[in-house]
Amino acid sequence: MNIQQPKILIVDDHRLLLNGTISLVSERFGDAKIFSAQNVQQALTEVAEHSPDLAIADLSIPQESGKTAQVEHGLGLLKQLMQDYPQLNLMVQSSSIKALVRLIPEIDAHQGGFTIADKSETIETFLTRMEWAMQGLTHTKDLQSDLEVKPEWLEVLRLAFEEGLQDKAIAQSMYKSERMIRHYWSKIQDALGIYPEPGKNVRALTQIRAREQGLLD
């Protein structure tokens, strides 16, 4: 990588924040070639056309122009970039970094740099994490979690609490038996430390705890 004239892609759907990040990056790397995108489709196009050395992305972004920004779109973008460009250096700048626990296996396997900076962090912290990512380093200690979650469990949570489906409909959607869905619930609740107690709504507690852990938006 030519650190003297790096190519950097910045992805954020908020124009003010996007311009602020562009300004910071320009100050740190005066001769950097900076590209920008405001949604997933634009980001994928920019990466394919310009092969950046670093991509800095927010998580809450739209899939395409005119659509609603959602964290799952940003997660999907990161997953696709890590799959298609295994050596691309990535940095996530977001106020929803907990959601990255859903991508821990992909992040662990990624060959490029991967760093995280909450949007509440100082400018100095942002610049440091950016430089680390440029150097191919990984900094994900903010995500350290003993939580091990399988993709099937995440799908059950999504269908139940975002789509509002009951177990029978979840089973049909996932092409599984209702018994298997109940098994998934048991595993999810065990991972979250939720067990039956008199007077407690286990499903409601599951939703609350899953949000706290970043498994739901």
Q: Is residue 146 part of a domain?
A: no
Q: Is residue 32 part of a domain?
A: yes
- At 145 the pLDDT is 63
Which is higher by pLDDT, 188 or 143?
188
pLDDT tens, residue by residue, 92-115: 999 888 889 888 888 888 989 999
Q: Is residue 217 part of a domain?
A: no
Q: Is residue 1 part of a domain?
A: no
Same domain, 164 and 85: no
Same domain, 135 and 80: yes
Work out the average pLDDT over 151-180.
Answer: 93
Is residue 147 predicted with pLDDT exceeding 80?
A: no
Same domain, 127 and 155: no
Same domain, 62 and 105: yes
- At 76 the pLDDT is 95
Same domain, 93 and 134: yes
Same domain, 129 and 35: yes
Same domain, 119 and 171: no
Same domain, 23 and 61: yes
Question: Domain total for the chain?
Answer: 2
Work out the average pLDDT over 155-175.
Answer: 94
Q: Of 87, 108, 141, which residue constitutes the final position of a domain?
A: 141
* Sheet of 7-11, strand order: 33-37, 7-11, 54-57, 89-94, 114-118, 138-139
* Structural domain of 168: 151-212
Same domain, 108 and 194: no
pLDDT tens, residue by residue, 46-85: 999 999 999 999 999 999 988 999 999 999 999 999 999 9
Same domain, 76 and 131: yes
Compute the 3-state secondary structure of the chain and give helix, strand, coil in percent, each to the nearest 5: 50, 15, 35
- What is the CATH classification number for the domain harbouring 198? 1.10.10
pLDDT band for position 138 (cuts 50, 70, 90): confident
Task: List C-alpha distances in Å: 203 to 75, 81, 167, 194, 209.
Answer: 25, 34, 12, 9, 10
Nearest to 24 by CA among 173, 131, 165, 152: 131
Q: Is residue 23 part of a domain?
A: yes
Work out the average pLDDT over 203-211.
Answer: 92
- At 2 the pLDDT is 47
Q: How far is Cα 208 from Cα 90, in angstroms, rounded to an integer?
A: 30
- What is the CATH classification number for the domain harbouring 76? 3.40.50.2300
Same domain, 105 and 169: no
Q: Identify whether the C-beta of residue 51 lies closer than 8 Å to the C-beta of residue 91.
A: no
Q: Is residue 43 part of a domain?
A: yes
- At 4 the pLDDT is 64
Same domain, 99 and 15: yes
Average pLDDT of the chain, as a whole number:
89
Is residue 3 predicted with pLDDT exceeding 60?
A: no
- At 200 the pLDDT is 87
Q: Is residue 2 part of a domain?
A: no
Q: Of 86, 118, 141, which residue constitutes the final position of a domain?
A: 141
The tokens for 20 are 């602020």
